[in-house]
Amino acid sequence: VCLTCCSRDVMVKVNHICHKNSVKFFAGDVFGYHGYMFADLGDHDFVEEKTKVPKASPGVEDGPDTKKARVDPSETTMVKKRLVFCPLKEALSVDWSGEKAAAALKRTAPDYFLLQ
């Protein structure tokens, strides 16, 4: 479900229904130069491709005579990952008075507060 140009209450209500039914939810809007986008993908499983890293042999010293393991840059491995997204209501109800919140405030874009 994708929403735009909706009130905060409508977005929270629709997101609650989507989250409860495991439906992916996106919301966003633009105000001149500022805008926001929110995504609630619920429990999201995905696969990430990683380049293989050579493992050093134990007991082998580094030096000019040491042979280093070579890895083909095209040699990759697939790593399964999972992200758990929070609902919009939870994302908007952050308590900004705590110590952790004060540290997070420095990394939070001012556009976050457009929804408030």
Domain ranges of the chain: 2-42+84-115
Report the predicted TM-score, pTM, of the whole model to 2 decimal places.
Answer: 0.67
Q: Report which of residues 49 and 59 the model is more confident about.
A: 49
Q: Measured between alpha carbons, how far is 80 from 47 in angstroms, rounded to an integer?
A: 4
Mean pLDDT along residues 30-47: 89
Mean pLDDT along residues 22-35: 91
Share of the chain above pLDDT 90, in %: 41
Q: Measured between alpha carbons, how far is 8 from 18 in angstroms, rounded to an integer?
A: 15
Please give the pLDDT value at position 58: 58
Under the banding of pLDDT at 50, 70 and 90, the label for residue 8 is very high
Strands, E assignment, 34-86: 34-40, 43-51, 76-84
Nearest by Cα to 11 from 35, 42, 43, 37 = 37
Is residue 86 scored above 80 in pLDDT?
A: yes
